[in-house]
């Protein structure tokens, strides 16, 4: 999945609370990437922005 989502063989991930972020311009687009998680990305350029497991916030 990492290569498909990032274009590389691995991804660097940082765990943070969603409440610690503020979207300053628009909101990310979101899609269900697996039965247990969704991914957010920029609808304009496709940059991956986040992975959120179900039941987390």
Higher pLDDT, 18 or 52: 52
* Strand residue runs (E) in the chain: 29-34, 37-41, 48-53
Tokens representing residue 57 in the block: 């916030």
- pLDDT of 1 strictly over 80: no
Tokens representing residue 18 in the block: 């969603």
> What are the residues facing 31 on neighbouring strands?
39
* Residue range 29-51, pLDDT digits in tens: 999 989 999 999 999 988 888 88
Q: How confident is the model at residue 12 (pLDDT cuts 50, 70, 90)?
A: confident
């Amino acid at each position: 999945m990492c290569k498909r989502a990032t274009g590389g063989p691995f991804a660097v991930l940082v765990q943070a609370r969603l409440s610690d972020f503020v979207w300053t311009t628009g909101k990310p687009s979101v899609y269900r990437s697996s039965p247990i998680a969704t991914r957010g990305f920029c609808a304009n350029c496709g940059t991956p922005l986040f992975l959120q497991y179900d039941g987390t916030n």
